[in-house]
Each structure stands twice: as C-alpha cells, then as structure tokens.
Structure 1
C-alpha cells in the first residue's frame, strides 16, 4: 500500500512537472510575429537571455551540439595560408577527402556581418565541414579581412583573390578546376555571389554553381516586410547589428550603389552560375534573398530557392540539433550534384519552395529534445538565481560587520 501511494505521488509530481515545463516552452514559442517550433524557441531563449553564452554570436551553445560523422569517408583538415594581391596572407581552412581525385572545390565565405567579432572561419567551421562530408568535395574556408579596420572593397578583393588561389591550387589538392563552386551564409552569401560576378566580369575561373544561405543582397533602405517584422532582435539578427554592419563595412552611401555591395539592386545577373538560395521564415533577410532569386530567374540564371519554415537567421549553424538545418544542407548538396551532372534542375520551373517543418517521428524527436534542453535551461536559471542570492547575502553580511 505504501509503495503504491509513493508511486502515485511520484507520478503526480512527474505529470505536474511536465505540465509546468510545457507551459514554459509554450511561452517561449509564442511571439508577436507567430508561433515558433519548440526547438527553435528553446535555442533562441537560451541565447537571447544569455542562459548559454556562445563564444561567438552564431556558435551553437555547447549543450546542444552533437557529433558529426563523415559517413564512412575519411576526411582530413588542414590550416591554410592564402596569399592575396596586396601582399597580405589570409588564414584559411580546408576539409577534403583523404584520397580526393578530381573532386569539386567549394570556396566558402563565412557569415558575420562583415565585422570583427561576429564571425570567422572558426565560428562557421561546422558548416564548411558538413558541406564537405555531404558532398565529398574539397571545401576551403576563407578568412577575409573584416570591418571596421578593412572597409569595402577589401572583403570582396580578398574573396576573389582566394578564389583565384584555390583555382590555381585545385589539382594539387586533388580537386578539379572544372568544378569550382562558391558558397556562403549571410554576409558570406553576399560575398559568394559578388565573387561570382567579379569572376564573370574579369574573366576569372568559370564557376559551376553558387550556394547562398540566407544571403544579404542589398544595402539600400528598401521597404522589405521581413526587415521590419523580424529585425527587433529576437531572431539572431537585429536592426542594430545590420545598421552597425552597414556603417562599418560601407561608411560611404555611394558604396551602396556598387553591384559588389548590393547585387539585388545594382548587379547584372546574366551569365552567373546556377544558384541555390536558402531563406528562413523568421529572418530579416528573407525578402531580399527571395527577391534575388527572382532576379536571377528573370535574367535566365537557373535557380532553386527554398524557404525553410520554423527557423531563424543563422539556422544552418545549428544543424547538429535542428533537423531543418540538416535538410538545408542536404538540399543544397543535391542541387550541386544535379548541377555538376548537367541534370535538369527544376522540372516544374522557377518557384519559391516552402520546406515545411519536420513531421512524424522526426517531429517527435525534435519536441523531446526541446523539452530536455528546456530542463537544462531552467536548471541554469535556478542555479544563477541561487548564486545571486548567496552573493547578495554575503555582501549584506560584510556591510553589517
């Protein structure tokens, strides 16, 4: 009888705890802009409330990171020194299959608002590594120089010089000069597509594709709904950061009219390589990424654009824990495979594809992991409150003495 009562009490406590936990997660998921999936809400709550402070702005919190597998293919990593035209040397990093032969070469430009302290080859190494593993390509990350010390066009020049260097070294690395690709996320997406423009304009390497993840495509003050709706700071990219980036990277307004700054408004897309463009539902940059996809299509550049529902700007950095991040990586690599194999890219013609949130068992797993993470966050909160109470009590005692 006593055991039954104890079991009943324990069960009631567990149910009560689950109800309370679910109410917390539900509260984090409810925003004025719409309801967030639980996993997205938990990640944003952790970062926005500094319960978990990443080393850099877009680095996944350590309690949410998982392992990465090469899928049975042996890979190696190498630090690089990339010489550029002004005599400087840029840091770089290469991920490649150990026995690479005639492999595609992807030159990757990291995100981070063009500014020092917001992103580098270390903070975005997981993305470069994941693309290499999924595509069996050689991926070279470029540590281009950053504002405010280095303003436009330094990052563009560095990006293009790095492409030239990668092209010249391709065969030595086990790659193919006939399979050159540029890729990047956010600010890096901007650099990837303008590097493709520069290569076209200056007779540089012929590129086979460009992979653009939630790219910044215009510095102009265009009336874009998503810039207004999602830029208040809750979705990892705020209006404050965007304005700071613009002031730091392009301090002169005349710079915004350069096609290598605002490819959406000022650039000519004709003869650019086929493009994959990923946008995120809760992202200030969503509209301009999709408008750029329309621009490419109108100027007869093959393009596949996918909007990923339920995620925020920078979601690819969290692919270890967000299934949607893994889907975006897989979609981009599938696009690349079709492009390199000269297959028809979109049988139905151009459109913005809306990739729905995970469903079925994948959705159950996401919800379970989200609630487990919420338990961790609540524990952190209690721990910090207790520490503050102890510190306050000790301070009060010392003052009384």
Structure 2
C-alpha cells in the first residue's frame, strides 16, 4: 500500500491539532461556514484575464455563475460544478481551482452555483447542472466562447454532477460534450454499492466515511432515488457514446474505489479514459493549492487532457 504524502500528512496533523469536527457532527450551516473558512485561507489563486459574474436561467430560479477566461476570443468552455457533498461549497470555495484550470487548459471556465441540499434535494442540483450546459450550448458565443467545444467537470459531488450531465445529454440528445473531467467523483449508490476504500479510509483523511453517508442522506432523502442513475452514475446500464473522460482518484479517499470502477465501466464501453491516480493524496486535495504540490500537478494534468480533447 502507498504511503501518505508527507505534505498531506503534515496538513492532516495541523487540522487534527485544531480540533476540527467532522462534517457529520455539524449542522449544514456550520459545515458550509467551515468550508468557506478553510478555502478562504488558500490565497487568491492565479490571475486570469477576464472574470465575470452573472446569472443564467434555471429550472426553478436564476443560477449564479462565474466566468474565468484567458485573453482572446472563441475559447473552448469548461462548465465546472463544485464539490461539497451537494450540501456545501459555492463559487468562492472553488475559485482557485477554476483559475488554475482555465490557465492550464487555456480555456474559459464557467463555475455553476447550483442549488444545494437539504433545502433542494435531488434532482435540483443535477437539473441546474444540465441547465448550465444547455445555456452554454446556446449562448457561449455571447461570452466570447465556442459553443462547439464544451466540456463538463467537477470534484466529488461536482464530479457526480458532471458524470450525470454527460449521461443526461446523451440520453436526451442534448448538447455535444467534448470531454468530462471527473475529480474523485462520487458516483455510487448507498443502496447498492460497497467498496473496500470505504473501510480502508473511513477516518483520518479529510473526508470520513460517516460524512459521505451524512451528505448522501441530505441529497437523497427519498430511498427511491438511490436507484436513479442520474443520482448515482454507477447505476447506468449503458456507458457507450459518452465523451472522453479524465478520472482522478486519491489513494487515501473513502470514495477512491468508486472512481476507479467508473473508469473501468467507461473503458469497457469503449470510452477513451485518462486515469490520474494520486496514491499518497486525500479527498479534496486539489483545492489545497497553497499546501500540496500535488494539487497543482493534478490540475495541470487535467488541463492538458482538456486541451487535447478540445483540439480533436
């Protein structure tokens, strides 16, 4: 078994000394505040040429978005869905990640502030996510982007949404997606799947297995939805005709194995897959650019995959 990266170990030791309670021991509002506070200490992130905030039409309400764009026009566009267990996270918590991806891939990034659970349980988040893709396909030209070169991506719960949106767009004959970037995606169903990594990495590595359950209970309060492939993409019966995919996993992550399994399913269906396994890393590591060298390395690798996909 791989060893925990020394930088990750030092960070976990510091957080443990601070006495940070796990998500499942907090209220939703406290969990949201804690993530905002943690990410606020990560610095401002890399500069980008153009930064705009506006709202787009959504199924139930306007959806706030933030656009990051390099200099010039007619850039490809990555629609990005932030992580946070569908219950926490926002445009601010993932600002440095979006900046790094925009520069690494030389593309524009549209970060989507979708509705959160438990106020808005499934399928609210995925409906907002898909609406953002449809908006981009129709209006990308108005933000000086190329509507024929669209990708989706996200981390954790955001990776779940990106995978679900790719399935939905294929099933509904929706916008063509050039690539999906899935960063330690949460793609399993609590009613069906069980993986060794849930037990191996249950405690002590940023995300606890009990917190995974806590998030799922808020996003999927109706047991019927536990068997919906748009809630848990590992339930899909068909993975053919999906876009090329990058799957990034972390060795010390309770949801590591579901990401690996999703990559296996895609490859078995003939989908082109690039795997990025960071064996010594923990869940959430790409957000920690100021603390972990692997965070920048991982985002640069994903950016290179995006750049290649957009050129095809």
Fold match (TM-score > 0.5): yes
Q: 1:296 to 1:182 in 2, by over 3 A?
A: same
Q: What is aligned with 2:27?
A: none
Query: CA-to-partner distance for each residue in 1:296-329, whole Å, 9 max, x for gaps?
Result: 0001111111110211000000123311111111
1:96 maps to which of 55, 60, 69: 69
Q: 1:251 to 1:328 in 2, by over 3 A?
A: same
Contact 2:44/2:96 (8 A) holds in 1? no
Q: What is aligned with 1:75?
A: 49
Measure the CA separation in 1 of the matches of 2:2 and 2:246. Answer: 27
- The answer to whether structure 1 residue 194 and structure 2 residue 164 are counterparts is yes
Q: What is aligned with 2:18?
A: 50
1:119 maps to which of 69, 80, 89: 89
Higher RCO by CA contacts (8 Å cutoff, separation 6 or greater):
2
Quote the offset at 1:77 in angstroms.
1.1
- The answer to whether structure 1 residue 299 and structure 2 residue 269 are counterparts is yes
Contact 1:260/1:267 (8 A) holds in 2? no
After superposing the two structures, state which structure 1 stretch, 128-137 or 277-286, moved more: 128-137
Quote the offset at 1:34 in angstroms.
7.0
- The answer to whether structure 1 residue 262 and structure 2 residue 236 are counterparts is no
Measure the CA separation in 2 of the matches of 1:91 and 1:61. Answer: 19
Contact 1:59/1:124 (8 A) holds in 2? no
Measure the CA separation in 1 of the matches of 2:14 and 2:165. Answer: 35
2:80 maps to which of 70, 87, 108: 108
Quote the offset at 1:282 in angstroms.
0.4
- The answer to whether structure 1 residue 336 and structure 2 residue 306 are counterparts is yes
Correspondence list, 1:2-401, <5 A: 35-50=3-18, 56-57=34-35, 60=38, 65=42, 68-70=45-47, 75-86=49-60, 88-99=61-72, 101-115=73-87, 118-220=88-190, 221-232=192-203, 234-342=204-312
Q: What is aligned with 1:30?
A: none
Alpha-carbon RMSD? 2.1
Report the structure number with the largest CA radius of gyration: 1
Quote the offset at 1:159 in angstroms.
0.5
Measure the CA separation in 2 of the matches of 1:66 and 1:244. Answer: 29
How many residues align? The count is 301
Contact 1:159/1:195 (8 A) holds in 2? yes
SS at match of 1:180: strand
Contact 1:193/1:212 (8 A) holds in 2? yes
The runs of 5 or more residues in structure 1 that have no matched partner are 1-32, 343-401
Quote the offset at 1:82 in angstroms.
1.7
Q: 1:190 to 1:62 in 2, by over 3 A?
A: closer
TM-score normalised over the length of structure 1 = 0.71
Contact 1:250/1:256 (8 A) holds in 2? yes
Measure the CA separation in 1 of the matches of 2:77 and 2:39. Answer: 30
Quote the offset at 1:135 in angstroms.
1.6
Quote the offset at 1:112 in angstroms.
0.2
Q: 1:59 to 1:217 in 2, by over 3 A?
A: farther
Q: What is aligned with 1:381?
A: none
The runs of 5 or more residues in structure 2 that have no matched partner are 22-31
Query: CA-to-partner distance for each residue in 1:309-352, whole Å, 9 max, x for gaps?
Result: 2110000001233111111111111111222223xxxxxxxxxx
